[in-house]
Amino acid sequence: MKLMIKERAFTTGMTILAVVVVIVLGVLQYRWSNQVSEATSIRLADSLEMSMVNWHLDFFRDFSEICIAMRVDPETDAQDDWNQYARRFDDWKKSTAHPNLVSGLYIFKFDGASQPKTLRLDPGSQRFESSDWPANFADLRGALQEAFLKSESAGAPSRASEFQDTPSQTSDREFADRFYAGGALAGWQFEPGIPALVRPVARDASASADRSSASRTVVDWIVIALNRKDVQEHILPDLAQRYFRGTEGLDYQVAVVVGNKSPRSIYSSDRGFGEQEVVDADGTMNIFGRLQDQALGSPIHIFHTPSQNKGPAAAVGITWFPLVRETAEDLDWRLIVRHRRGGALGAFVADSHRRDLAISFGVLLLLVISMAILIITSTRAQRLAKLQMDFVTAVSHELRTPLTVISSAAENIAHGVVEGKQQLAQYGTVIGNQARKLFEMVEQILLFAAIREGHQRYSLRQLSVAEIIDSALSGTAGLIQEARFKVEQDIEQNLPQVSGDLSALSQCLQNLITNALKYGSQQHWIGIQARFAEHGLRGKEIEISISDRGIGIESADLPHIFEPFYRSPLVAAAQIHGTGLGLPLAKSIAEAMKGELTVKSVPGRGSTFTLHLPCSERPVRQADPAMKEAVSS
């Protein structure tokens, strides 16, 4: 008993320890998965932000090359020799990778007249000639005229974009100005509507060309009109391939659009992408430098906070020209990127996180199942070992009694204690009975081993129910007589035959009858019933039942009584001899005959074991002879 308590305590302790280990592993795995997902998001965000920044730098560089090429020493009389710009423009076209980027080069001169003088570079003669004001320059013309009038009235230099800004516009302009490169590009401004690059030119040679100069009034402007078609068909596709390309083509869908709520596409790597608001974009950038992410103070918005994004400092490298005039945010150029394979990066990382968690917890579940199987197997192995030890003890006890009787009888005969033929016959009968018990026990053990190994072979033939029952009663007649039990039979007439092995079926019923004799208590009664039955699942069958009125079987023991070597605690306490092999053998024989063995029991009132054997015929019901006589009369 103490050993069983220790085993149960050990099993319980191991189970609790396993549960704690699994919970700890689950919590750690969840935390590790979150950390890995966060690190992956940061890494992807860093990579995407760097690609967008480099994309923007190259885009700005393509535009700034022409500005640097058109730079003229402010101390020269550039305004008196406009053809110097023509020569520089020609040199730029010969060296640039995008000679078609500029669609026109203009000079606007303000001499106090209501209409400014317009000069346009003639590509053929490479000279500036008078020209009409282009129709698509209307907004720019208004901005330049307003700047000229302000400068005339104030008597001081002004910028064409010097207007009253709203607080948010002022913040955006301060941000753009803070990261404006200046230097060789000082004074250049951008007009998004055309698009065009614009720079004021001082009338006086002593005037500085820098936009911060306050010595002279700016009245002349050089305007470089950009070829939108070349930007759409060459520059933007090249930049997309350069910075968003993978091993199998573009890893991202890329678009440059104008506006936010109702975007108008300038360039799109995929048909339709960017024509509607992209709510799941992985990254967006305001090319002009307006703040996209107010919280971080950056014109770039990424699906996840990058590792170094601590504020405006993260946007170093976001460089653009100041705008000629203040425009609404709906006219801003915006870069939009979204991952092509696997959906948006945020959703991709989230799906990967969920998938990793599912795999991790699936592995943990397998671990739990394995541990549960291990614990169950260990418990069953311990239980089986105990049952086997009990079986060895029971068999030893069962063997000891007949061996003791045989040994004592042999000694009595050898020492001349037995006298006369009658007494010798009695001793012979005793020895024979005990030897038969030993033989039956050995046969039962060998039969069990043969069935377990699958070596048992049966000779099947058509058998009558009465033949099977008579064979079983004949084999147990001595035991029934010795135990002084009364056997009542209730067998239906004209039952159909069944297919089976007579010896095996007789052994099956003998085991059931032997059980009834052991556990039949003081009632000394056994009931044998045979009848035809038809069930929906099993079909037509013969049911042979063996009943007793003994101690019965507890409900907790019913699921185990057909297990090898099992003996209930109540039986062990009552010191009823047995090996625990009778019922498992009976059940194995029933199943080998394609039948079934069932049990019904009430503790203290007895048990009924029923052998179900399939049959293919219905019984032929014959009328009672008295009824026949009554009918004929």
How far apart CA 626 and CA 622 sit, in angstroms, is: 12
Nearest to 253, CA basis, from 282, 293, 292, 219: 282
CA-based nearest residue to 36, from 360, 283, 337, 363: 360
Q: For 558-590, what is each residue's pLDDT tens digit? A: 888 888 777 777 776 666 766 777 888 889 889
State yes or no: pLDDT of 543 exceeds 90.
Answer: yes
Its pTM stands at 0.57
d(C-alpha 350, C-alpha 304), whole Å: 12
Reported as a single tens digit per residue, the pLDDT across 458-508 is 888 999 999 999 999 998 888 888 888 999 999 998 899 999 999 889 989
Burial class (CB in 10 A: 0-12, 13-18, 19+), 248: exposed
* Among 102, 289, 66, 267, CA closest to 195: 102
**DSSP characters over 316-343:** TT---PPBSS---GGG-EEEEEEESSSS
**Residues of the chain above pLDDT 70, percent:** 80
Question: 249-250 and 245-246 as β-strands: parallel, antiparallel, unpaired?
Answer: antiparallel
Read off the pLDDT of residues 605-624 as tens digits, 9 standing for 90 and up: 899 999 999 987 776 655 44
CA nearest neighbour of 595 among 538, 546, 547: 538
More confident residue, 146 or 585: 585
- pLDDT per position as a tens digit, 307-347: 765 444 444 456 788 888 888 877 889 999 998 876 778 88
Domains of the chain in start order, with CATH, are 73-226 (no CATH), 458-614 (3.30.565.10)
Read off the DSSP letter of residue 168: H
Other CB atoms within a 10 A radius of the CB of residue 566 amount to 20
Could you read off the pLDDT of 337-394 as tens digits, one per residue? Answer: 998 876 778 887 888 888 888 888 888 888 888 888 888 888 778 777 776 776 676 6
The yes-or-no verdict on residue 284 having pLDDT over 60 is yes
Burial status of residue 27 (CB atoms within 10 A of its CB: 0-12, 13-18, 19 or more): exposed
Angle between helices 502-519 and 465-475 (to 10 degrees): 50
Any idea what the Cα angle at residue 54 is, between residues 96 and 251, rounded to 5°? 105
- Residue bearing the bigger pLDDT, 214 or 230: 230
Per-residue confidence (pLDDT) for residue 394, from 0 to 100: 67
Distance CA(33)–CA(36), nearest Å, equals 5
- Residue 429 main-chain phi, psi, to 5 deg: -65, -40
